[in-house]
Amino acid sequence: MSVEEYLSSLSDDMDKVIDALKRELLSVRTGRAMPSLIENLPIHIEAYGSTMPLKQCGNITAPDARLLIVNPWDKSTLRDIERAIATAGLGFNPANDGQIIRIPIPPLTGERRQALVKVVKKAAEEAKVRVRGVRREYNELLKQASDDKEITEDELKRATEKVQQATDAHVKKVDDVSAAKEKEVLEV
């Protein structure tokens, strides 16, 4: 494997970390209703003798900034869905009208916003750790390639510098993504 192939693969792996962080931050509440608030969380519905994720039980929409609606494909699962959302520990009080489930989104308090900022910072720090883990993995691969005489010492030195540059760039991306999410959470 050439140095360029290692570096290309490194960039792809670090980009996957950034994408995972963005997906994780979708479920952090920002004060307005978004289907991702509940569809990506581990809310499981007991139906048909098994458990299934909420997003497989019905359509989730946000008709306005303060309301989520779950429209189950099978109306017999309404009570199960309502119970699962109520007991998920999200602070939501779903209301079942026999056809759909309405979930009013309460406005965020200042204290809750600060708690959510901590969640965002924790997720960002975990993403930075994963980026550094990718760096360590590729530095070891490059060192092994040098030991196996696939690349020269000079190529190893240049490659590890490029690995560090890629790491720094991706850590900055993590910071940018988390800063944008923090701003969104703190926005009133």
The C-alpha atoms of residue 87 and residue 81 are separated, in whole angstroms, by: 10
Q: Domain coordinates of the chain in residue numbers? A: 3-26+109-186, 36-104
Model confidence pLDDT, tens digit, residues 93-106: 888 888 898 988 87
Q: What is the CATH number of domain 3-26+109-186?
A: 1.10.132.20
Q: At 6, phi and psi to the nearest 5?
A: -60, -45
Q: Which three-class secondary structure state does DSSP give residue 125?
A: helix
The C-alpha atoms of residue 184 and residue 27 are separated, in whole angstroms, by: 13
The C-alpha atoms of residue 140 and residue 88 are separated, in whole angstroms, by: 42
Q: Mean pLDDT of successive 10-residue segments in the chain (188 residues)?
A: 84 93 80 73 76 84 86 86 80 85 83 85 94 94 89 90 94 94 82
Cβ–Cβ under 8 Å, residues 85 and 102: no
Q: What is the CATH number of domain 36-104?
A: 3.30.1360.40
Q: For residue 176, what pLDDT is reported?
A: 94
Per DSSP, the residues of 54-122 read GGGTEEEEEEETTEEEEEESSGGGHHHHHHHHHTTTS----EE-SS-EEEE-PPPPHHHHHHHHHHHHH
Cβ–Cβ under 8 Å, residues 31 and 183: no
Q: For residue 74, what pLDDT is reported?
A: 84
Q: What is the pTM of this model?
A: 0.70
